[in-house]
Structure 1
Amino acid sequence: MSRSAIVQAIASYGPVSRASVAKLTGLSKQTVSEIVGNLESDGWVRTVGETEGHVGRRAVVYEISTGDATVSSVDLGASKVRVAFCDLMGRVLAERVEPTDRSGGMNVIEQVGRLVQATERDAREPCGDLQIAVVGVPGVYDPKTGAVLMAPNIVGIDQFDLAAAVHKRLGIEVFVENDVNLAALGEHWLGNRREHDNFVYISVGTGIGAG
């Protein structure tokens, strides 16, 4: 959670110093320094100069390194699978959509893996290595078992650990969350509700959901 909070702070307020990130997140300066150092080593953030500190010292400032790492965003729906290949600021570099495999189960995992790899090849400009896949699902994700519950329109995805299956197929870190919750987070980050910490996002599609 600390790593995620720091990435979000740098994405939202960068270029920003480690001291400012500590204030924004409520984390200790030591924790922020350690995590920012790891993020820089992993290619997630980069230094972009220095700024005057409040006591006259110059502080190194950081921003998200959009060219060194990429993320695959997967919207796994009852009727279609949409995959977007994005940089770390959410800019879409390539996208594919096709009907969801009606046979469900592991066939859907294979479909997701194929589409992720296809969009990576489709990227319209040079970009960094694919680091993470985030999968939005039309149901309740059980973090203990990894199964997706209350998603009757996709056969069999309540029978196995979805994140583990996608990880095995792609070999990268995978996060799974309810699709409408992810849409709400996206709206808060890049949409019309960036200044509001509390709001409700309502989605009307094959089903109706709120996040």
Structure 2
Amino acid sequence: MNERAALDLLTEHGALSRARLGALTGLSKPTVSQLLARLEAAGLVGSAGTSEGRPGPGARLYALRGEVAYVAALDVRPGRVRAAVADVTGAVLATHTLATPARPGPGGVAAQLTAALDGAA
């Protein structure tokens, strides 16, 4: 549950320090350090630099690794299909628009959707 809470916060807020993650979750510093170590070992989070703007050394920031999962979306309208592929952080990586005839050919609509997704991928 702690890991899920941390992933949700990293998704919502972007890069966070251990201290900020602890403050947002209410977890102790050792617990936050352990969960971040587990998430790093699993490849779900990684270092995102250091914080700036405060006196002293910057705190290490952690962020969700976008490449751990991808999503695809389709926008189907008369005359066209638009496909988009994004990473788990929501960053759109590619889009593809395919003009579609009023009467689909062999394979029908499924072939058009597949072609649009292939184009975006």
TM-score exceeds 0.5:
yes
Distance 2:120 2:8 in 1: 26
Alpha-carbon spacing, 1:123–1:15, altered in 2? closer, same or farther (3 Å):
farther
Distance 1:90 1:44 in 2: 15
Segments of 5+ residues of structure 2 without an aligned counterpart are 73-84, 94-113
Q: Matches of residues 65-144 of structure 1 in structure 2 within 5 Å?
A: 65-67=65-67, 69-70=68-69, 87-90=87-90, 124-125=120-121
Q: Residues 53 and 59 of structure 1 are in contact (CA less than 8 Å); yes or no, is this contact kept in structure 2?
A: no
Q: Which amino acid aligns with 2:69?
A: T
* 2:51 aligned residue: 51
Number of aligned pairs? 89
Q: What is the Cα deviation at residue 30 of structure 1?
A: 0.8
Q: What is the Cα deviation at residue 56 of structure 1?
A: 2.3
Query: TM-score, normalized by length of structure 2?
Result: 0.57
Alpha-carbon spacing, 1:92–1:49, altered in 2? closer, same or farther (3 Å):
closer
Query: TM-score, normalized by length of structure 1?
Result: 0.35
* 2:4 aligned residue: 4
SS in 1 for 2:69: strand
Structure with the bigger percentage of helix: 2
- The CA deviation string for residues 167-191 of structure 1, in whole angstroms up to 9 with x for no partner, is xxxxxxxxxxxxxxxxxxxxxxxxx
Q: What is the Cα deviation at residue 92 of structure 1?
A: 7.7
Q: Which amino acid aligns with 2:9?
A: A
Structure number, greater radius of gyration: 2
Distance 1:56 1:47 in 2: 19
SS in 2 for 1:89: coil
Q: Which amino acid aligns with 2:60?
A: V
Distance 2:58 2:91 in 1: 31
Distance 1:29 1:46 in 2: 18
Segments of 5+ residues of structure 1 without an aligned counterpart are 74-84, 94-117, 126-211
Q: Matches of residues 15-54 of structure 1 in structure 2 within 5 Å?
A: 15-52=15-52
Alpha-carbon spacing, 1:26–1:86, altered in 2? closer, same or farther (3 Å):
same
Q: Residues 71 and 88 of structure 2 are in contact (CA less than 8 Å); yes or no, is this contact kept in structure 1?
A: no
Alpha-carbon spacing, 1:60–1:46, altered in 2? closer, same or farther (3 Å):
same
Q: Which amino acid aligns with 1:42?
A: A
Q: Residues 49 and 60 of structure 2 are in contact (CA less than 8 Å); yes or no, is this contact kept in structure 1?
A: yes
Q: Residues 39 and 45 of structure 2 are in contact (CA less than 8 Å); yes or no, is this contact kept in structure 1?
A: yes
SS in 2 for 1:58: coil
- Report the RMSD for the aligned CA atoms in angstroms: 3.3
